[in-house]
Amino acid sequence: MRFVEITLGGWDTHTNNFERVQENSQTLDTGMSALLDDLERRGMLEETMVVLATEFGRTPVINDNDGRDHSPTAFSCVLAGGGVLGGQVIGETDKQGKFVNGQKVEVPDFNATIAYALGMHLDKTSYSPSGRPFRVADKGSPVMQVFG
């Protein structure tokens, strides 16, 4: 199995949120759509999982600096290819965008979903280079709805 990580920093928009998100979104949208189009054109999208994620969301409230602060209670991630049934939205937030209503996907479940798609054994104990035992899904369960 091979993994490639691409990062796009600069989303910490405590100031100038609207200007910075518009600029970052243009960069992200252009790169993401080009990647997905290229993978599909080459016939590699079904065997390649693309994950777009962050470590937390943003408050729905604009602060005094025209920015948005950290909010760990709700955020979005995207999965494409790798057996994922496209066009789905799983979960939703309240009207303020602060809390999850309905089906909530916890981080361990998100990790388990990715691991499941990659054919990894969710119950297998692996060891870090320092010898620390861990499980890829950390007690999470795959969200099978993602696969249709």
The string of DSSP letters for 88-118 reads: ----EE-TTSSSEESS---HHHHHHHHHHHT
**pLDDT number for residue 28:** 96
Per-residue confidence (pLDDT) for residue 106, from 0 to 100:
92
**CA–CA dist 91, 36 (Å, integer):** 23
Residue 9 phi/psi, 5-degree rounding, is -80, 180
Q: Residue 24: helix, strand or coil by DSSP?
A: helix
* pLDDT string in tens for the chain (148-residue length): 788 899 998 899 999 999 999 999 999 999 999 999 999 999 999 999 999 998 888 988 999 999 999 998 999 999 999 999 999 999 999 988 889 998 999 999 999 999 999 999 898 898 999 999 988 888 899 999 999 8
Task: State both tokens at 85.
Answer: 């049934």
Q: CA 148 to CA 143: how far, in whole Å?
A: 10
Tell me what pLDDT residue 138 has: 82
**What is d(CA 40, CA 74) in angstroms, rounded to the nearest whole number?**
30
Residue with tokens 């981080």: 107
Looking at residue 48, its pLDDT comes to: 95
So what's the pLDDT on residue 53? 93
Which pair of tokens denotes residue 148?
A: 């249709």
* Cα(75)–Cα(59) distance, integer angstroms: 10
- Alpha carbon 68 to its chain centroid, in Å, reads 19
pLDDT at position 10? 87
